[in-house]
């Protein structure tokens, strides 16, 4: 069954490494073309959108079938509960730490200080009702929202969080069936997972074209119009994400993973990070991430099928750090000195707001909820929306790296369980 997670079998076409190289070339060429053409580079947007639509077509069924199979496989293991709990703990802790790192760097380097608010009047858009449309629901509303009243509607709407709850419920319930029924259903869900991986394989062959179009459009749209302070914020954000990725995430792999090393982990993940950066979608990167985890990092298929689809939805280290940095950036623009309670509000709202954030590209309106929770004005927020695509590409590359790291760490408990058996 592992062959189902191979993007390409040996001897039948371009290898995964070759595809990664072509994606890098396409990314660089797209950026160059976008800078040269400027706004007219938007002509490439339809092809980029078509590529993303092809990926989205496969994502929902892939998440459903892979999670059901993964949860069912784990459900038959005595380490299932341990792996599930540790997965949630890892995602929660790393997300909170990412928020804290973002806040510390924002306060030390003050990226929003010294901006004349009068010069931003041209960037204003209608944000009067954003507070209402982006409020984070209460605790019980959030919990209830996890459970689909109609699973078919969740599938049609593409509500990934509800699909995950539904799939995990089915998978764990399969563990209580007799062996014959379990075997039949396991074969069905594993075969369906393999089928959609094959569909994604075909789509991946046009990835360099899609990536080129997406990069050309993004670069041409923003180009040199990005304000100096925004560039400063982006540079600071890159430093924060580098620390989150290579110190926090990489350090956790070095200390706790048994199936790979720090060096091997990042050597295998580079092509996944490039793809995530270019598409700005954790879900679009999921098949490539799963393939890399199984075939290069040595993670079991069962753990991969559980941890990675779950992480693509609830593990948003990069998003959480962005929410915190955007909030402090705007507070500094207004000359606000944030109180301790406001920092706590930013940390809590950024961490919780990142959980369940859809793993697809798009403006991050949840930052509005972070600002409102801390009492920070939202009038200047549109200048960040204008370059959100840049932040989105950066944070997605970090998010998927954390997903893979978690899989390599929690898989040790499944390995230990097998050894004990």
Q: Please, which residues have CB within 8 angstroms of residue 164's CB and are 6 or more apart in sequence?
A: 63, 67, 309, 310, 313
Rounded to whole angstroms, how far apart are CA atoms 349 and 344?
A: 8
Residue 182 scores a pLDDT above 90: no
- Whole-number Cα distances in Å, 155 to 39, 166, 228, 261, 293: 36, 10, 43, 37, 26
With tokens 């341990």, the residue in question is 82
pLDDT tens track for 138-169: 667 767 877 888 989 888 887 766 887 888 78
pLDDT at 282: 84
How many contiguous H segments (helices) and E segments (strands) does the chain have? 19, 0
Rounded to whole angstroms, how far apart are CA atoms 204 and 60?
A: 17
CATH 1.10.3860.10 for the 2-420 domain, yes or no: yes
Token code pair at residue 389: 């695509």
For Cα atoms 367, 94, 341, give the angle at the middle one, nearest 5 degrees.
Answer: 50
Which residue, among 165, 116, 122, has the nearest Cα to 145 in the 3D structure?
Answer: 165
Q: Which of 293-297, 372-376, 400-404 has the lowest mean pLDDT?
A: 372-376
- For the chain, give the mean pLDDT: 78
- Whole-number Cα distances in Å, 209 to 25, 138, 212, 286, 404: 10, 43, 5, 19, 26
With tokens 């993303």, the residue in question is 52
Q: Which residue ranges make up each domain of the chain?
A: 2-420
* CB of 20 closer than 8 Å to CB of 274: yes
Radius of gyration of the chain (CA): 21
Of 25 and 129, the structure prediction assigns the larger pLDDT to 25
pLDDT tens track for 387-416: 677 888 899 999 999 999 999 999 887 755
Q: Tell me the torsion sign for CA atoms 194, 195, 198, 199.
A: negative
pLDDT tens track for 355-370: 545 444 444 556 766 7
Rounded to whole angstroms, how far apart are CA atoms 212 and 237?
A: 24
Question: Average of pLDDT values for 228-237?
Answer: 85
Claim: this prediction has a pTM higher than 0.75: no
DSSP assignment string, 330-369: HHHHTT----HHHHHHHHHHHHHHHTT--SS-S--THHHH
| 75: confidence class by pLDDT, cuts 50, 70, 90 | low
Rounded to whole angstroms, how far apart are CA atoms 92 and 86?
A: 10
Which residue, among 313, 295, 296, has the nearest Cα to 59 in the 3D structure?
Answer: 313
Q: Which of 74-83, 235-244, 396-405, 407-416 has the lowest mean pLDDT?
A: 74-83
pLDDT at 223: 54
Question: Average of pLDDT values for 210-214?
Answer: 83
């Amino acid at each position: 069954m592992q062959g189902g997670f191979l993007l390409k079998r040996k001897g039948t076409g371009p290898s995964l490494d070759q595809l990664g190289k072509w994606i890098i070339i396409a990314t660089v060429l797209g950026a160059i073309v976008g800078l040269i053409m400027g706004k007219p580079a938007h002509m490439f947007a339809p092809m980029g959108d078509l590529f993303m639509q092809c990926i989205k077509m496969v994502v929902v069924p892939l998440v459903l079938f892979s999670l059901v199979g993964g949860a069912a496989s784990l459900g038959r293991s005595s380490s299932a509960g341990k792996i599930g709990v540790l997965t949630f703990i890892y995602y929660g802790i790393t997300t909170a730490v990412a928020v804290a790192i973002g806040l510390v760097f924002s306060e030390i380097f003050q990226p929003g200080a010294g901006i004349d608010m009068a010069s931003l009047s041209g960037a204003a858009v209608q944000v009067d009702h954003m507070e209402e449309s982006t409020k984070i629901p209460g605790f019980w509303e959030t919990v209830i929202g996890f459970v689909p009243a109609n699973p078919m509607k969740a599938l049609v709407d593409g509500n990934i969080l509800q699909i995950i709850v539904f799939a995990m419920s089915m998978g764990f319930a399969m563990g209580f069936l007799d062996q014959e029924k379990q075997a039949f259903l396991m074969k069905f869900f594993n075969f369906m997972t393999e089928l959609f991986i094959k569909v994604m394989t075909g789509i991946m062959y046009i990835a360099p074209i899609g990536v080129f179009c997406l990069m050309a459009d993004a670069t041409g749209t923003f180009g040199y119009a990005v304000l100096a302070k925004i560039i400063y914020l982006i540079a600071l954000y890159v430093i924060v994400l580098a620390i989150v990725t290579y110190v926090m995430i990489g350090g956790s792999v070095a200390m706790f993973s048994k199936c790979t090393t720090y060096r091997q982990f990042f050597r295998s993940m580079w092509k996944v990070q490039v793809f995530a950066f270019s598409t700005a979608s954790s879900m679009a990167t999921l098949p490539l991430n799963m393939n890399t985890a199984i075939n290069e990092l040595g993670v079991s298929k069962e753990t991969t099928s559980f941890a990675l689809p779950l992480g693509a939805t609830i593990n948003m280290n990069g998003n959480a750090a962005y929410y915190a940095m955007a909030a402090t950036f705007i507070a500094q623009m207004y000359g606000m000195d944030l109180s301790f309670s406001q920092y706590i509000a930013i940390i809590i709202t950024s961490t919780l707001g990142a959980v369940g954030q859809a793993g697809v590209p798009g403006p991050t309106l949840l930052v509005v909820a972070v600002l409102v929770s801390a009492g920070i004005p939202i009038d200047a927020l549109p200048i960040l929306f204008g370059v959100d695509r840049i932040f989105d590409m950066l944070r997605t590359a970090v998010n998927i790296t954390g997903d893979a790291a978690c899989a390599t760490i929690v898989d040790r408990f499944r390995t230990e369980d097998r050894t004990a058996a």
